[in-house]
């Protein structure tokens, strides 16, 4: 199996001391999981390497034979402005450090400094380079309105512009190792989005999904980290956790908003340090999975209320996508109807039926609190009892009636419908406007319009007749 390299671009270490290059490489891999490393002892080869390899960041020793670090810095900034440079010197010279920063170096470190400072500086520079590259990719995709890998989204049936923007964003951020936070109401297809992000990442390992809702702290730790034999009563043998099962792949933590505060601390430490301890073990293991989290809750609101850690929230929302609800992309409903009818017919061994032309109109005027999942359930229920040539609308109407009194997940904000500086219309005029709007949304179908208005069809028919009679003759 091909090992995934991190970061997606190369890190070039330049120093004429082979022992320093070797020790820094080992420290970077052990401490930061950084494996996409190139090493160079001869400063004359650096520019050739930058031309040949996909290098995003260079660490540069100042004092080298042939070309000095300052000379190389000037050439890199001029010829490869997208490549970040960190200068490492054997001497603590403030004036030299200031000059290097002025020339365009990202940072300056002294070799005798604590190793941890240098490693953190390199990791910080990698994250900034990743964000810069993502911004460039995102700008390019939005300006060109293109998708480079539409096959990754083949499972998602949509023609919505908002969903296309989500796809373009995912293409830009999927190759990085930073977490992705997927938000959206229940039933919108968050797992499909996570799967697309995994496919786009190019990771060789699997996508492993864990629903963390209802897991107490001990079960959460055991599920994610695994345990050693004898770690607790009943642990008769070693068990790999989900992190290990998702190695070189993606770990999806669903319903992350339900995670307990104690488990939030464990997850934050995992994301910060990239290491974890299986229960009963004192030897750390490096996380080799990319973490994606999903929730139907508003994590911003939860952290303001004190039920979700602020530091974890900001760590998770490095990359964030929100999937619009089905009622926000009504043009997708006819497409999904066709798709689910074909899927249900195939699964149930039936012929795909035709359906009344009013059915898509009926569906587009329904709120779908359960979103795509609810529509799919309706279609499969209707297909399971279908016997004639044309699909009946009754199953759909009954399902809508059962949920008619339930509030939508996010209630519509009340707003003033009338200008405060104008006189109010009469109740009669408002009623006429409401009937007109209902008929427009129902595309002239009185049965659907009456459902929207909450009145019987005969009552609507009577109202329409009065409205026609009241119209002035030409």
- State percent of the chain over pLDDT 90: 59
216 pLDDT more than 80: yes
What mean pLDDT, rounded, does the chain reach?
88
Residue predicted with more confidence, 12 or 202: 12
Alpha-carbon span 39 to 23, nearest angstrom = 11
The SS3 assignment for 206 reads coil
pLDDT score for 424:
79
pLDDT score for 474:
55
Q: Where are the beta strands (DSSP E) in 304-351?
A: 319-322
Alpha-carbon span 344 to 346, nearest angstrom = 5
pLDDT score for 84:
94
| pLDDT per residue as tens digits for the range 54-65 | 999 999 998 898
Alpha-carbon span 62 to 256, nearest angstrom = 46
Residue predicted with more confidence, 206 or 235: 206
Chain position carrying tokens 């998602």: 156
Distance of CA 300 to CAs 295, 434, 452, Å? 12, 37, 34
pLDDT score for 412:
46
Give just the sign of the alpha carbon dihedral 113, 117, 123, 127.
Answer: negative
| pLDDT per residue as tens digits for the range 161-212 | 999 999 999 998 988 888 999 999 999 999 999 999 999 998 999 999 999 9
**What's the whole-number mean pLDDT along residues 389-412?**
72
Could you tell me the domains of the chain?
A: 10-132 (3.40.50.2300), 145-323 (3.40.50.300), 327-403 (1.10.8.60), 427-470 (1.10.10)
Among candidate residues 185, 132, 186, 192, the one with its CA nearest the CA of residue 166: 192
50 pLDDT more than 80: yes
288 pLDDT more than 70: yes
267 pLDDT more than 80: yes
Query: Please, which residues have CB within 8 angstroms of residue 284's CB and are 6 or more apart in sequence?
Result: 275, 276, 277
Among candidate residues 41, 112, 103, the one with its CA nearest the CA of residue 76: 103
- State percent of the chain over pLDDT 70: 95
Query: Please, which residues have CB within 8 angstroms of residue 378's CB and are 6 or more apart in sequence?
Result: 395, 396, 399
pLDDT score for 3:
60
| Confidence label for 340 from pLDDT (cuts 50, 70 and 90) | very high
Quick one: the chain helix, strand, coil %, rounded to 5? 50, 15, 40
């Amino acid at each position: 199996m091909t090992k995934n390299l991190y970061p997606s671009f190369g890190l070039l270490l330049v120093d004429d001391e082979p022992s320093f290059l070797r020790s820094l490489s080992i420290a970077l891999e052990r401490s930061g999981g950084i494996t996409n490393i190139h090493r160079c002892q001869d400063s004359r080869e650096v520019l050739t390497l930058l031309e040949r390899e996909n290098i995003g960041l260079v660490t540069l020793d100042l004092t080298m034979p042939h070309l000095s670090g300052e000379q190389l810095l000037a050439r890199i900034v001029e010829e490869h402005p997208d490549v970040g440079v960190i200068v490492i010197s054997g001497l603590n010279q403030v004036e030299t450090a200031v000059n290097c920063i002025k020339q365009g170096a990202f940072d300056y470190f002294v070799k005798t400094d604590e190793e941890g400072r240098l490693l953190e500086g390199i990791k910080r520079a990698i994250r900034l380079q990743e964000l810069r590259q993502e911004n460039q990719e995102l700008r390019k995709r939005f300006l060109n309105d293109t998708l480079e890998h539409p096959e990754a989204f083949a499972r998602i049936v949509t023609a919505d512009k908002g969903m296309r923007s989500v796809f373009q964003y995912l293409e830009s951020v999927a190759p990085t190792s930073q977490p992705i936070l997927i938000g959206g109401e229940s039933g919108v297809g968050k797992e499909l989005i996570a799967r697309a992000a995994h496919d786009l990442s190019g990771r060789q390992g699997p996508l492993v999904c864990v629903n963390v809702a209802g897991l107490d702290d001990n079960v959460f730790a055991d599920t994610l980290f695994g345990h050693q034999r004898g770690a607790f009563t009943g642990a008769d043998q070693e068990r790999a956790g989900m992190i290990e099962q998702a190695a070189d792949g993606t770990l999806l933590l669903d319903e992350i908003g339900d995670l307990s505060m104690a488990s939030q601390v464990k997850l934050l430490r995992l994301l910060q340090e990239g290491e974890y301890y299986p229960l009963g073990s004192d030897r750390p293991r490096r996380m080799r999975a990319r973490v994606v989290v999903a929730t139907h809750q508003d994590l911003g609101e939860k952290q303001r209320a004190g039920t979700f850690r602020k530091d974890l929230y900001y760590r998770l929302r490095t990359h964030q996508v929100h999937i619009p609800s089905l009622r926000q992309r009504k043009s997708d409903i006819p497409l999904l109807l066709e798709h689910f009818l074909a899927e249900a017919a195939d699964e149930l061994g039936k012929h795909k039926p035709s359906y009344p032309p009013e059915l898509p109109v009926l569906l587009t005027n329904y709120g779908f609190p359960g979103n795509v999942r609810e529509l799919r359930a309706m279609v499969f229920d209707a297909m399971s009892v279908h016997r004639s040539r044309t699909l009946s609308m009754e199953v759909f109407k009954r399902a809508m009636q059962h949920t008619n009194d339930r509030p939508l997940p996010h209630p519509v904000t009340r707003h003033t419908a009338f200008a405060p500086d104008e006189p109010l219309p009469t109740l009669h005029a408002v009623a006429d406007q409401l009937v007109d709007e209902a008929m427009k949304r129902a595309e002239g179908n009185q049965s659907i319009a009456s459902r929207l208005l909450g009145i019987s069809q005969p009552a609507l028919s009577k109202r329409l007749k009065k409205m026609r009679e009241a119209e002035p003759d030409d």
